[in-house]
Amino acid sequence: MKKNSLIGKVFITNNFEETQRLGKNFAKNLRAGDVVALYGDLGSGKTTFVQGLAEGLGIKNRIISPTFVIVRKYRIMNHELRIMDFYHIDLYRTESEKDIEGLGIEEIINNKNNIVVIEWAEKLKNYLPKKRIDAYFFYEKENERKINFSLGF
């Protein structure tokens, strides 16, 4: 599955395992410098997707949402990809771009050795790079999620 094969497609997952599997498969497409912006309501599957994505990158740590600390950093031990770090950013508790200033997020995003995934990415506004992957999550039913990918604008 190449990045371009994801763009514009709609994926339906029926449980958290399928959402994690989609994330794990998605990880195969990521390279150093990639930024993935996640959009969707609470409970739409963003963190579950990130858990699978991290597993797909070879990260063994338990992935929990960094809601209170905003940024979590994980070391990727895949020297073939030459990626040093994976950053999971969750902006749910931030109110404005002022809350983000001083956290080093701009430097994290611009470091071409990182892979960065941002939950509630709409809160970054001016900090989001133009070259990115946008993933939209929709809560359809109790366990069903609709997820689609597009390129940033």
Q: Which residue has the higher pLDDT, 76 or 15?
A: 15
Q: Using a cut of 0.85, tell me whether the model's pTM lies above it.
A: yes
Q: Mean pLDDT: which of 36-40, 42-46, 78-82, 104-108 is highest? A: 36-40
CB 133 within 8 A of CB 3: yes
CATH node for 8-151: 3.40.50.300
Burial class (CB in 10 A: 0-12, 13-18, 19+), 127: middle
How confident is the model over 111-143, as pLDDT tens digits?
A: 998 999 999 998 887 788 989 999 999 988 888
If pLDDT is split at 50, 70 and 90, which confidence band does 78 have? low
If pLDDT is split at 50, 70 and 90, which confidence band does 77 have? confident
CA–CA separation, 66 vs 72, rounded Å? 6
Give residue for tokens 């940024």. 71
How confident is the model over 13-48, as pLDDT tens digits?
A: 999 899 999 999 999 888 889 999 999 998 888 999
Residues paired with residue 86 on neighbouring β-strands, in sequence order: 74, 115
Give the chain's mean pLDDT. Answer: 84
Q: For the chain, what are the domain ranges?
A: 8-151
* Percent of the chain scoring above 90 in pLDDT: 38
Number of C-alpha atoms within 13 angstroms, CB side, residue 99?
14
Q: Mean pLDDT: which of 46-55, 88-97, 101-110 is highest? A: 46-55
5: amino acid identity, one letter: S
